[in-house]
């Protein structure tokens, strides 16, 4: 009889171990899923931050192009590396400004800007903008 009781006790403890293992596996699986979701959300937010910074740089580049063109009608653009000490880890932005020469008799010029933040790294955001600006003494964008 003792033997028979030992078998039942062994079965119960085996089932208990099995249930505990399944609970640990389920908890681990849920934890890993939550961690993956949090990481994906972090990447999404970081991408949005980079895109917004590039957007602001592109807007600043349009203003810079209009101001430079207002002073010098022969200004055709530049590559502008923007660095601020406040930027994270000393990152810089890069802006390329191009102004087309006017067509015969045209008073407006097309301005194209491409802003990149952070510059020179694989994980970056790029924003392109095109506007028309008037001749020197004309209207601004």
pLDDT tens-digit map of 94-108: 999 999 877 776 778
Q: What is the DSSP letter of 78?
A: E
Determine if the pTM surpasses 0.75. Answer: no
Helix/strand/coil for 119: coil
- Which SS3 state, helix, strand or coil, does residue 8 take? helix
Residue 140 confidence (pLDDT) above 60: no
Residue 65 contacts residue 132 (beta carbons within 8 Å): no
The average pLDDT across 63-83 equals 89
| Per-residue pLDDT at 141 exceeds 50 | no
pLDDT tens digits, 75-125: 899 998 888 665 566 678 899 999 987 777 677 889 999 999 988 888 889
Domain spans of the chain, in order of start: 2-134
Confidence (pLDDT) at 122: 85
Is the per-residue pLDDT at 57 higher than 80? yes
């Amino acid at each position: 009889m003792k033997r028979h009781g030992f078998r039942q006790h062994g079965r119960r403890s085996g089932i208990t171990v099995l249930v505990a293992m399944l609970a640990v596996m389920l908890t681990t699986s849920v934890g890993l899923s939550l961690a993956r979701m949090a990481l994906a959300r972090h990447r999404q937010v970081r991408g949005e931050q980079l895109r917004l910074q590039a957007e602001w740089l592109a807007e600043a580049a349009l203003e810079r192009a209009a101001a430079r063109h207002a002073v010098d009608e022969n200004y055709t653009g530049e590559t502008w590396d923007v660095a601020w000490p406040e930027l994270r880890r000393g990152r810089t932005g890069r802006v390329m400004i191009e102004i087309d020469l006017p067509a015969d008799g045209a008073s407006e010029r097309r301005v194209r800007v491409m802003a990149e933040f952070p510059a020179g790294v694989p994980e970056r955001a790029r924003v392109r903008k095109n506007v028309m600006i008037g001749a020197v003494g004309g209207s601004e964008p």
